[in-house]
Structure 1
């Protein structure tokens, strides 16, 4: 880990995830644009490591006031990397453990995590957007709830996060039909905090982060902690159940068939 001489905020570089600090802001970026930042065991592990390091920096009293999460290229994440998850022999239990750690890394971060949802985010990418404290979505973007389409159940805590935002009936419709949610609907149903022109999503997210960073640090951390505490137990329970259900599906024939259809095109 190296430190910036100006900010003393670490610059963390993993192959799949990059984090850098400017002033009181830490930017964390998924760094697999050639694969639309699709998640597999390696990316999930790297993201969990980065979020753990960010939390340690904040606890050490260094000037971290907010985190901005984004994806290099067109989207935050297109969901599961079918090639690596199915064809790479990755262990389903390890994948689900890493996914849970990633979501809890956002929830347990001592400072607010703001998420920039650019383009079309799918699957676990949607879960992370819902887990963040504040999410800004591109006006022409979409949330693609495609779990069932590829033979998977819900994961990333979305079985708790989604119905908490839109209610059980609407959440059931969205997940069971593989609904594609546009930005206007996402905003009106409380799935995101704001929308912004496509080219301005990251800038607007960083602008909000800067506004938060200017507030008294103790107050900001207190609000983050109390809001997270009210839902943490339910999210942990959801993650645990999701893992039990999802692990066999990750090794199941439906996901393999979906991967064959996708890569056979």
Structure 2
């Protein structure tokens, strides 16, 4: 159906698989993505996800223009199925690593911006070209891009429709790592396994503290972080973490 989904060692691997169409999204892929993100959110065994595309040319170029609904239909409806958005839920609290293997354009970049970590192939390119076709990055691009990189750079991308390469994306902070194409999936798996090995409640709390805290004044964000620390203090996993450290063994997390 254009999207592959497997689970392994507490990690969900979500892969766009339409390389013949630059991993753009047709209605079937949209439907499948909505189902997958819903399952990731509900499955307690999943602690972290890796989101990527097939091949070395493109992560995702957004909507498949050849299969775009007619203008009289609401375009947002294609990106929303049964109340479930295909854009990863930034308040799901389970981290998502986006491994950008090529072009991330339009809706593809918007999906990447909804992820918590973005790493990229040296061949990756990023941009919002909607202004070239009388449209707008209307899902989250106009809001998330200037929150991820300097506003002036975001405005340049949104208003000119120009693409930036991986080196520029790293320089402005859009991504955290660049790697040669052959090593991208290995690096994503490495990061995912490191996250999955940590206490799941702590990982969720760390993400929640950052995402929610950025919506608050600093003093309120700090107070919210203190509250989350207090919630974690008496959990079984925190006690297990201290015991495991003292006994020089790997902890056995229960998520409690």
Match of 2:6 among 2, 17, 20: 20
Match of 1:53 among 32, 39, 42: 39
For the structure 1 residues 232 and 200, does the alpha-carbon distance in structure 2 shift closer, same or farther, using more than 3 Å as the test?
farther
1:68 is aligned to 2:50: yes
State the match for 1:106 in structure 2. 89
1:34 is aligned to 2:20: yes
State the match for 2:234 in structure 1. none
State the match for 1:129 in structure 2. 112
Report the CA distance between 1:157 and its aligned residue.
0.6
Match of 1:225 among 184, 190, 208: 208
1:141 is aligned to 2:127: no
8 Å contact from structure 1 (residues 128, 156) kept in 2: no
CA displacement 1:66-98 (0-9 Å, x = unmatched) = 100011233220122111115698642412545
Give the Cα–Cα distance (whole angstroms) in 2 for the partners of residues 173 and 41 of structure 1: 31
Unaligned runs of at least 5 residues, structure 1:
1-14, 234-265
Q: Please, what TM-score do these two structures have when normalized by structure 2?
A: 0.76
Report the CA distance between 1:56 and its aligned residue.
0.7
Q: Secondary structure at the match of 1:154?
A: coil
8 Å contact from structure 1 (residues 135, 205) kept in 2: no
Report the CA distance between 1:159 and its aligned residue.
0.8
Q: Please, what TM-score do these two structures have when normalized by structure 1?
A: 0.74
- When the two chains are superposed, the root-mean-square deviation of aligned CA atoms in Å is 2.3
Aligned residues: 214
8 Å contact from structure 1 (residues 38, 79) kept in 2: yes
Give the Cα–Cα distance (whole angstroms) in 1 for the partners of residues 35 and 211 of structure 2: 20
Give the Cα–Cα distance (whole angstroms) in 2 for the partners of residues 155 and 163 of structure 1: 14
Q: Which has the higher helix share?
A: 1
Give the Cα–Cα distance (whole angstroms) in 1 for the partners of residues 98 and 60 of structure 2: 12
1:78 is aligned to 2:61: yes
Report the CA distance between 1:43 and its aligned residue.
2.0
State the match for 1:92 in structure 2. 75
After the TM superposition, which residues 191-206 of structure 1 pair with which residues of structure 2 at under 5 Å, given as runs? Answer: 191-206=174-189
Larger Rg: 2
Higher relative contact order (CA 8 A, sep 6+): 1
4+ runs of 1 displaced by more than 4 Å? 86-91
Match of 1:184 among 152, 167, 186: 167
For the structure 1 residues 199 and 90, does the alpha-carbon distance in structure 2 shift closer, same or farther, using more than 3 Å as the test?
farther
